[in-house]
Chains A and B, each alone.
Chain A
Amino acid sequence: MMIALSFLLSFYGFLHFAMSVKKHHMDIYKGWYQAKPLSQREYWVMQAIAWLAMTASFYCAVVIWGIGIGSMAWLMLITVSALLVVALFSYRLQWFKWLWRYTCLGHKFAPPELKSSIDHRSR
C-alpha cells in the first residue's frame, strides 16, 4: 500500500517535471489550442509540486524499508516511474494529456472546456 503510494507520488512528480520543460509543455498543449509558452510562474509552481511529490515519495520509501535500503529501492522506484512517464509521453500522448487534464493542474493552466469551445468556433 505504502509502496503504491510512493510510486504514484513519484509518478506524479515526474509528470510535473516533464510539464515544466518548455518543449514538452508545447507538445502537450499543441493539440488543445494555440499553444501558449510556459510562463515563469507556471514553471516554478510545477517545479515546487514536483519536488514536494518526490520528497513525499522518498519519505514513504524510507518508512517502508528504512533509510539504507529505502534510498536504494527508492532510486529504482523512480527509475521505473520515470520510464513510465517517458513511455506515456512517446507512445500514449493522449493518456498523458488526459492525466494532465484531470489529475494535475491541467485545468488551472489551460481549462479544457474553454479551449475546446475556441476550437469549435475556429472550425
Chain B
Amino acid sequence: MKGPLRKTMTWLHTWSSILLGWLLFAIFLTGTLSYFRMEISHWMTPEAHVSVPSEQSMSIAAKRLAEVAPDAESWNISLPSERSNTLDLSWRNPGDNQRRRGPMEVLDASTGEQINVRETRGGDFLYRFHFELYHLPRGVSRTLVEIATLAMFIALISGIIMHRKIFSDFFMFRTKNRSLGWSDAHAVTAVLALPFHLMITFSGLILLASTLVFWGGDINRGGNGGNQGRTTDVVEAMPVERLPLPDLTRMLDTAEHELGAKVSFLLANNPMTRDAEYLFYSSERTSLLGNRFGQTIALDYDGNVREATGMFAPTDANVSAVSAINGVLRTLHEARFADTFVRWLFFIAGVSGTLMVGTGSILWATKRAKRQAGQFGFELVHTLNIASIAGLCGAVASYFWLNRVLPADMLTRQSWEINGFFIVWLIALLHAAIFRHRNAWQWQLWVSGGLFALLPVLDQFTSPVGLWGAIVDGDVLRLSFDGMCLVIGGILLSSAAYLRKKSQLVMAPNTSSSKTITEQKAITS
C-alpha cells in the first residue's frame, strides 16, 4: 500500500471495489430497473393493459366509491397519469387499523369495469431488492447496502485520482486493440456518466446514512411524509350527517386550474360529510424541493379552496434544512421529477453505471488470468463474476418470464415468481462453477440476452392487448418496458458476440494477425 499517491489510489480502487463488486452490480442493476418501477408493475399485470386513460375517470371513481364505500373514513383515488393507466381506488372503513391498507380496487379508467389483476410484486420486488435485498433483516441488509455504497464512493474518488489522462482519453474506446477493450469500456462508462455516478452514489450514501449511525432515530423517515401527517384520527365511528356526493370532476377542474398542473391523486378525508376535506395532489414538479408529491390543494365539502400549498410547503409542520436537503437528494436519487424522456436518460446513465461495475469486476479477473489461473481466489472471483453479472441478468429476465408463464390464478404465484428468480440465479452459480473454463460466460450471456430480447415477443402473445394495440393506445408505460428489454438484451447479446469473436481469435491466431496486417496495409497505403 506504500508508494506514490497514484499507486495507493490504484490499490484502494481495486480492493474497495472487488470485494463488494458483485453486490454493487446487483444494486446497480436493480436500481436502474427501478427507474421503470411503475412500467414494470404495469407490464407485469397484463390484465390492466386494456385500461385506457380517459376524461371520465374522476366521475367513474366518485360513482364507484359512493356505491361501495359511502361510510368510509377516507378515500384514495389514484387517477390515470403519465405513470399509470388504471384507476386505483382504496378506502378506509371506520374503525380500521390505521397502519394497514384498506380494501382496494383497480378499475378500467374509461369503462369503469373492475379489473382482477394477477398477484405479483411487480417492480416493487426489484425496487426493494435495490436497497434491502431479500429475506434479510431490514437493518442488516440496509447496513450492507450502505457499506457497499461507501465502497462505491471510495472507488469513484480513487478512480478519478488514479486516472492519468482523464481528458485526453475522454472519447477513447479501443475496440481494435483487444487487450485494452475491457479497460476502455470501464473507463468510458465511468467517465462519461461521472456526474450521474457521483450524484447517485452520494445521495444513496446520505439516504441510508442512518444505518451506520447507531444512535438517534431513523432520520430517513423524516422527509417522507406524504399523507401520514394529514389523516385525521377518528377514534370511533360516530353517526354523522351524510351529504350528497359533491361534483368531484368540477373540483378537479378547480384544483388543476389553481395548481396549474395535472392532478394525479385525490385523498378525501371524511368524504360526503360537512367536515370533508378533499386533498388534490399533483405529481408534476417544477423544482427539486418538496416531498413525494409536487403540490397539493385542499378543497372543502363545497368545493371552495381551503388552502393551497406550494412545492416547498411542509405537510409535517417543521422542515429543517437537513430534511430539505434529504428531500432533494431523494428526489434526485429516484428521479421523481422525470418525464418519460428524462427517465430514459437516467436509465441510460444507470445502464452505463451497471456496465462500469460489471466491466470493473471482469477487468480484475482478466488482468490476473494468466498469472493466477488455478488459484482459489482467482477461481472464486471468476465464478462469482459470471454468476453475479450474466447470471443475475438471466434471473431478472426469468422473473419477468415467470410472471407471464405461470398461470394467472395460481396460488402463491407471487412467491413463485420470486423463488424462480433465486432458483435461476442459483443454477447460474452452479453452472458458472462447473463450466467456468468452458465458455460459461458466453453461454450465460447468450441465454440472458436471449431471454431479455424475447420479452417483447412474449408480451405480444400473453397480453390481452397486442403490441400494435399498445402503440395505438399510446401505452407509453408498456412500450418503455419493452424498449428497455431490447436495450438490455442487445447489450448482453453483443457482449456475448464480442466474447465469441475473441475466443475465435484465440483459437486461430494466425488468421487474425494476418488480417490485422492487411488492415494496417490498407490504412497506410
Residues of A within 8 A of B (CB): 3, 14, 17-18, 21-24, 30-31, 65-66, 68-69, 72-73, 75-77, 79-80, 82-83, 85-87, 89-91
Task: Give me 20 other A-B pairs in contact (C-beta within 8 A), A69-B287, A75-B199 excluded.
Answer: A18-B170, A22-B168, A30-B523, A69-B285, A69-B342, A72-B199, A73-B338, A75-B196, A76-B195, A76-B345, A76-B348, A79-B192, A79-B193, A79-B195, A79-B345, A82-B171, A83-B192, A86-B173, A89-B173, A90-B173
Q: Is B288 in the interface zone, CB < 8 Å from A?
A: yes
The chain A residue sitting closest to B287, CB to CB, is: A68
- Scan B283-299; emit 1 where CB is below 8 A from any A CB, else 0: 00111110000000000
By Cβ-Cβ distance, the 8 closest A-B pairs, closest first, are: A76-B345, A75-B195, A90-B173, A68-B288, A18-B171, A82-B192, A79-B193, A69-B337
Q: Considering the chains assembled together, what is the distance between the CA atoms of A65 and B170 in angstroms? A: 28
| Alpha-carbon distance A22/B168, docked complex (angstroms) | 8
User: 26 A-B residue contacts at CB 8 Å?
Assistant: A3-B341, A14-B171, A17-B171, A18-B170, A21-B170, A21-B171, A22-B168, A66-B287, A68-B288, A69-B287, A69-B337, A72-B199, A72-B288, A75-B195, A76-B195, A76-B342, A77-B345, A79-B193, A79-B348, A79-B352, A80-B345, A80-B348, A80-B349, A82-B170, A82-B192, A86-B188
Residue contact A76 to B346, C-beta cutoff 8 Å: yes
On chain B, the residues within 8 Å of A87 by CB distance are 173
Give Cα A75 to B199, complex, Å.
Answer: 10
Contact A83 B348, beta carbon cutoff 8 Å = yes
**Shortest beta-carbon distance from A94 to chain B in Å:** 13
Is B175 part of the binding interface, using a Cβ–Cβ cutoff of 8 Å? yes
Q: In angstroms, how far is the closest chain B Cβ from the Cβ of A96?
A: 10
The residue on A at minimum CB distance from B286 is A66
- Bound Cα distance A75, B352 (Å): 14
| A94–B305 CA distance with the chains assembled, in angstroms | 62
Are A86 and B196 closer than 8 Å at their CB atoms? no
Chain B residues, CB < 8 A from A23: 168, 172
Q: Is B332 on the interface with A (CB-CB < 8 A)?
A: yes
B467-525 contacts to A (CB < 8 Å): 523
Given A66-B286, A79-B192, also A73-B171 (CB < 8 A): no
User: In whole angstroms, what is the CA distance A65 to B288 when docked?
Assistant: 11
Which residues on B are within 8 Å of A, measured CB to CB?
A: 167-168, 170-175, 188, 192-193, 195-196, 199, 285-289, 332, 337-338, 341-342, 345-346, 348-349, 352, 523
The answer to whether A72 touches B332 (Cβ under 8 A) is: yes
Assembled-state Cα–Cα distance A82/B187 (Å): 13
CA distance A18 to B188 in the complex (A): 13
A85→B170 CA distance, assembly (Å): 10
A47 to chain B, nearest CB (A): 11
Which chain A residues border B173 with CB–CB below 8 Å?
86-87, 89-90
| Cβ distance A16 to chain B, nearest Cβ, rounded Å | 11
How far, in whole Å, are A85 and B193 apart by their CA atoms in the complex? 13
Assembly CA distance A66 to B287 (angstroms): 7
**With a CB–CB cut-off of 8 A, which chain A residues contact B172?**
23
What residues of chain A lie closer than 8 Å to B175, measured between beta carbons? 90-91
How close is A91's CB to chain B, nearest CB, in angstroms? 7
Please indicate the chain B residues that have their CB under 8 angstroms from the CB of A72 in the complex. Answer: 199, 288, 332, 337
Q: Which of A30, A68, A79 has the most CB of B within 10 A?
A: A79
Least Cβ–Cβ distance between B198 and chain A, in angstroms: 10
Q: How far is the CA of A68 from the CA of B195 in the complex (A)?
A: 15
Q: Which residues of B contact A66 (CB under 8 A)?
A: 286-287
In the complex, which residues of chain B have a beta carbon less than 8 angstroms from the beta carbon of A3? 341
Chain A residues with Cβ below 8 Å from B289 are 68
Query: A76 to B171, Cβ gap below 8 A?
Result: no
A72 to B335: give the CA distance in the assembly, Å: 9
> Would you give the shortest CB distance from B524 to chain A, in whole angstroms?
9
Q: Is the CB of B523 within 8 A of A17?
A: no
A76-B174 Cα distance, complex, nearest whole Å: 24
Nearest chain A residue, comparing its CB with the CB of B194:
A79
Give the distance in Å from the alpha carbon of A9 to the alpha carbon of B174 in the complex.
Answer: 26
Which residue of chain B has the shortest Cβ distance to A88 in the bound complex? B171
Q: Please give me the residue from chain B that is nearest to A3 by CB atom.
A: B341
Q: In the complex, are the beta carbons of A69 and B195 less than 8 A apart?
A: no
Q: Which residues of B contact A65 (CB under 8 A)?
A: 337, 342
* In the bound complex, CA of A93 to CA of B523 (Å): 13
Give the residue among B171, B174, B348, B352 with the most A Cβ atoms within 10 A: B171
> Which A residues touch B192, using CB under 8 A?
79, 82-83, 86
In the bound assembly, the distance between CA atoms of A68 and B329 in angstroms comes to 12
Q: How near does chain A come to B170, taking the closest CB pair, in angstroms?
A: 7
Q: Are A79 and B196 in contact (CB under 8 A)?
A: yes
- CA of A30 to CA of B349, assembled, Å: 32
Residues of B within 8 A of A24 (CB): 171
State in angstroms the CA–CA spacing of A37 and B285 once bound together: 50
Instruction: Give complex CA distance A82, B286 in Å.
Output: 26
Docked Cα-Cα span, A75 to B188, in Å, equals 16
Contact B523 A76 (CB under 8 A): no
Q: Decide if A76 touches B196 in the complex (CB within 8 Å).
A: yes
**B349–A89 CB distance below 8 A:** no
Contacts of A83 in B (CB 8 A): 188, 192-193, 348, 352
The answer to whether A31 and B523 touch across the interface, beta carbons within 8 angstroms, is yes
A73 contacts B523, CB within 8 Å? no
Among A17, A65, A72, A91, the one with the most B-chain Cβ atoms within 10 Å of its Cβ is A72
Taken together as a complex, chains A and B put the C-alpha atoms of A76 and B200 apart, in Å, by 12
Nearest-Cβ distance from residue A59 to partner chain B, whole angstroms:
17
**Complex: how many Å from CA A2 to CA B287?**
19
